[in-house]
Amino acid sequence: MSVLLGIISLVSLILGIYLSYKKGGDVPNGYGVAGLLACVFSFVGLLLGIVTVKDKAYYRFFPWAGVILNVMSLGCISMILYLGSML
């Protein structure tokens, strides 16, 4: 589940950045809401990934992949907020 949440959040962020670039920065409020939902998905996915990594009954690849994807998504959100604050 954490892998799916990480993929959803990364895809929505990349799509939002691409569409924002294509419109020249004049974007509707829905892109911001998508970014907020991506942030929520990333936090939930990161929590699920960390809990699953600690459990020995699961295969190791998918929990670690979920943690990495969600950390990448949170890093992307952090970078967007940092660059936006510099304007």
pLDDT, tens only, 1-55:
899 999 999 999 999 999 999 988 888 888 889 989 999 999 999 999 999 988 8
Threshold 0.75, pTM exceeds: yes
**What is the extent of the structural domain holding 46?**
2-85
- Which long-range contacts (C-beta less than 8 Å, at least 24 apart) are formed by 45-48? 45/1, 45/2, 45/3, 45/4, 45/5, 45/6, 45/9, 45/69, 45/70, 45/73, 46/2, 46/70, 46/71, 46/74, 48/1, 48/2, 48/5
Q: How many domains in the chain?
A: 1
